Structure 1
């Protein structure tokens, strides 16, 4: 067996550098990963890119998958769920006949253990499940789990649905789950961890997977690259079948290059400019609104995505949800692109210009050069930052682009050690509640220097908190719409972020040897990346041509 990376036919044996293979799969689904692997870690509870693929998509499974585009629920380890009449109890029926990859039976006790494990180790509870009014999770019998709430919070279902379920007989012995790398993972999923190097990761088909006839390929492999440009090249060459890659102009730079090349970029969230509201002058709403009015979001979208992705609605509400959920008040509250008005507003707020056109702080001193934080090598975000920098330069505000590798990038946003940063809106879901809750709820924020799980602007407001609570306390859509209207109003008045562009998934396909990808005609997931709860559906549905 060759001890080098051999990127040949996508459906072929793929030797991984320096690693002995347990077997030679006949068919392999190849995925390009536009970032280096950070280390051997299969812990599904560590955040972001700290764990390897296929941790969340191929090894561990959730109870359900909720499609963020349309709210459709796909059963996984759970087969059905039901709320009690007072909405304070959620009963989930657990699938029978499932076994862990070490042969031991999967039961409702594993589900209850997984949730209670987060309660005992709150640092793992990244979704805030135990801050969502859940007070107890118990297995009432081998196939039933009961979630009890002390306060109605029906939107918590999506977080319950998507939690990776782990084996009690394995994880009950873990001493320090925050640092546990889980080198030999035991899951219920369609694939088994096999080989790892810094260049490639591979998993083999689980021969005892509970879903008959799935997966259709014998292996799945991820190949690391240094960034989007290298990843794109591998897709164009046919060395990989799938990539989650933001191509600058997917029609010109990808689809036009070959008949087997296609993409699907469904809109499911927004890309936004986050302000670090814990530090001056970004703690001043007048300064934030002035900057917001100076940013040409259409130019941002056109240059970053070649007109393929539209500018975001200032409310952050995605197109598919605007008809039902976007309040009319958003039109009056949203800042309009007007550099002249922005300049006047900043001056009126105490941020004057000197004779050379340099913007001054309220103390009369020139404002420093502010860093625009983006992920290292992320070409779309780098372009976004360049346009923002050009826009703000006209206001007399100078910026520099701060590229950081993902762990550092995420850490800077979460610990409020940045000035401004480009990132996505958290909390995709079937209504705008999910976006506003995950992005701005007080429980997901933290003081500067502490780790906020998803409130990256570190912005809190009593009226916003009340609206979030009001939504979650009812299942009446009219009342929920009133709550969403209040959420939108508070955020637009305070501008803790500036929605810039629609946030799409970035699926690009090379179907010369593989078919069965999710598409607009068959949106069986929401365009999820390959190592995610929704990505699991792609791994089990792709098949050789």
Structure 2
């Protein structure tokens, strides 16, 4: 039996947060998640954007057809039990799981799956992944256990988005005529937990006694608690008042794990942080200038100072380490950025950007280059540090910079409307293969004229060879052909340098293991280190076990 003192503080916090009504049903084991942010109204609509519905919605209550691990592409069956593509890759057939019941006792079937996707077609604002805009033409159920997706053109990477769409019950949602404003205060899903209680400070779900996976979950409840920032969340983990938190801190090794045997973290690399160039304006429109600037930046120093050595310099290919073995040719594996300020200086001069007597870099017109702004989010200490190192590096080759801190709306707006010079951000659109990053970052349809909003092509860079490689990847399900397409994507981007990969970007899972075991780790990566409010977190809530 565990000492009462270890449970007293969390119990008191939950009593205050959830109130007497919720505590009328006291589960024996509660897995506690601490959030470094607040939430608003009791919204459990799985089709609203992730920051507008409660964290339990798509991680514990509703389920998807499959879970696709973003690190390695491994597919885990959920409500789907198998899938096959037709020879022309225009038809996807999915078999669905028998014996599953909704939380209200009604039977789940393929009809619910077909209804869900057709519901997104009926209400396009709910189709956040743009499934129906990207070639999907019909979704039909064939009996209770098979559903067929038909496409106007081959687009195999769309499987990732189909797989991750939450499935809702037809017998309830067919009655909902205004899903855009529907808050779904009493959600009915197929997931391992059922909704129990809500307050502005805490949300609780209880174990689904009729869950289709026998013997799981191993815990009786999951509770999310809100805090007002990283420091408060970290304190709860250190005090043993929480078991898990998705909390980004500067030094998880020295500032957390080193404080005791029950403190651990898993920060798997799932993306990169980049220095983006606005290729719509000179001199960033010149590939020779961009290549020279990339050579002048010491990315190892950027990573060391921004993340205390916990995260490494990003690979020059921008393909994360977990995907390199499968997707990169041998000649491209392990490529690292080349830092050579002397070579950068020579390259700039050779490209027409000579220095004056004062050592200031001149444009091709002979006039001194202006001081270029590096756009970062206001108060984002890791990005600010990166910008400082980049600025120091560029000053050595005669290029002056300043750091432009902006609030989120101005920061994201500047990147998306191409009103910046250089900017630091992550890859907007990573996924289980390199395709998703290169498609979101450089596809022409995701760009826009200057001043207009580009969904994700922040550099406004396109290249016919790259566009064709993206199309070849989409048109096939042959891994060898897709690998060749990825090689073209990587080599094209590395030649033209519309960005500089600066550092690895990771998930930020912190654990207090004093009460539970079997967390996802590098040795047991059954998910990709997912945040607590997305489908991948469901696997953690299913697998953690009381000690």
Structure 2 counterpart of 1:397: 400
* Aligned match of 1:435: 437
For 2:3, the equivalent position in structure 1 comes to none
1:66 alignment partner in structure 2: 68
Take 2:312 and 2:446, find their aligned partners in 1: how far apart are those partners? 28
The secondary structure found in structure 2 opposite 1:141 is: coil
Q: Measure the CA separation in 2 of the matches of 1:413 and 1:8.
A: 48
8 Å Cα contact 2:114/2:147 also seen in 1: yes
**Per the alignment, do residues 110 and 75 of structure 1 end up closer, same or farther by CA in structure 2, a change over 3 Å counting?**
same
- Taking the aligned partners of 1:379 and 1:39, their CA distance within structure 2 comes to 30
Residues 105 and 287 of structure 1, relative CA distance in 2, 3 Å threshold: farther
1:519 paired to 2:521? yes
SS of 2:142's partner is strand
Work out whether residues 357 and 396 of structure 1, in 8 Å CA contact, stay in contact via their aligned partners in 2.
no
Deviation string, structure 1 residues 245-294 (Cα, Å, up to 9, x no partner): 23322222212101111112222322222334455554443443343223
Query: In the alignment, is residue 90 of structure 1 matched against residue 92 of structure 2?
Result: yes
Using the TM superposition, give the Cα deviation of residue 403 of structure 1 relative to its aligned residue in structure 2, in angstroms: 5.1
Closer, same or farther in 2 for the Cα pair 1:190/1:389, shift >3 Å?
farther
The total of aligned residue pairs comes to 538
**8 A Cα contact 2:325 2:333, kept in partner:** no
Bigger mean CA offset, 490-499 vs 344-353: 344-353
Q: In 1, Cα distance between the equivalents of 2:242 and 2:125?
A: 36
Task: Go from structure 1 to structure 2 and tell me whether the alpha carbon gap of 1:393 and 1:471 turns closer, same or farther (over 3 Å shift).
Answer: same
Residue in structure 2 matching 1:108, options 99, 107, 110? 110
Task: Identify which range, 32-41 or 240-249, moves more after superposition.
Answer: 32-41
Residue of structure 2 in register with 1:25 after alignment: 26
Distance 2:117 2:519 in 1: 32
1:300 to 299, 302, 324: 302
Q: 2:328 maps to what in 1?
A: 326
How far apart are residue 307 of structure 1 and its match? 1.8
Structure-to-structure mapping, 1:437-516, within 5 angstroms: 437-448=439-450, 450-516=452-518
Deviates more, 1:281-290 or 1:137-146: 281-290
Alignment match, 1:3: none
Match of 1:260 in 2: 262
61-70 vs 149-158, which moves further: 149-158
Q: Does structure 1 retain, via aligned residues, the 8 Å contact 2:371–2:401?
A: yes
Q: CA deviation at 1:417?
A: 5.6
**Structure 1 unmatched ranges of 5 or more:** 1-5
Return 313-322 or 38-47, whichever deviates more: 38-47
Q: Deviations over 1:53-72 (max 9, x none)?
A: 12221122110011233332
Residue in 2 aligned with 1:372? 375
Contact 1:290 1:342 in 2 (8 A): yes
**More divergent stretch after superposition (300-309 vs 30-39):** 30-39
CA deviation after TM superposition for structure 1 residue 76, in Å = 0.7
Residues 392-447 of structure 1 deviation map (CA, whole Å, 9 limit, x = unaligned): 44443222252535x77556544556554433334444432233233333344444
Indicate conservation of the 8 Å contact 2:315/2:335, yes or no.
no
Instruction: Confirm or deny: 8 A CA contact 2:14 2:202 kept in the other structure.
Output: no
Return the offset for 1:201: 3.3
What pairs up with 1:172-183 in 2 under 5 angstroms?
A: 172-175=174-177, 177-183=179-185
Structure 2 unaligned segments of length 5 or more: list them: 1-5
Inter-partner Cα distance in structure 2 for 1:136 and 1:450: 32
Distance of aligned partners of 1:382 and 1:101 in 2 relative to their CA distance in 1, 3 Å threshold: farther
Distance in structure 1 (CA, Å) of the matches to 2:220 and 2:473: 45
Larger CA deviation: 379-388 vs 511-520: 379-388
In the superposition, relative to structure 1, how do residues 333 and 252 fare at CA in structure 2: closer, same or farther (>3 Å)? closer
CA distance in 1, matches of 2:201, 2:420: 31
Separation of aligned partners in 2, 1:415 and 1:201: 38
**TM-score of the superposed pair, with normalisation by structure 1:** 0.87
Contact 1:358-1:396 within 8 A present in 2 as well:
yes
Higher Cα Rg: structure 1 or 2?
Answer: 2
Give runs of aligned pairs for residues 144-223 of structure 1, distance below 5 A: 144-175=146-177, 177-223=179-225
Matches within 5 A, 1:343-422: 343-346=345-348, 364=367, 367-368=370-371, 370-374=373-377, 378-394=380-396, 395-402=398-405, 404-405=407-408, 413-414=415-416, 416=418, 418-422=420-424
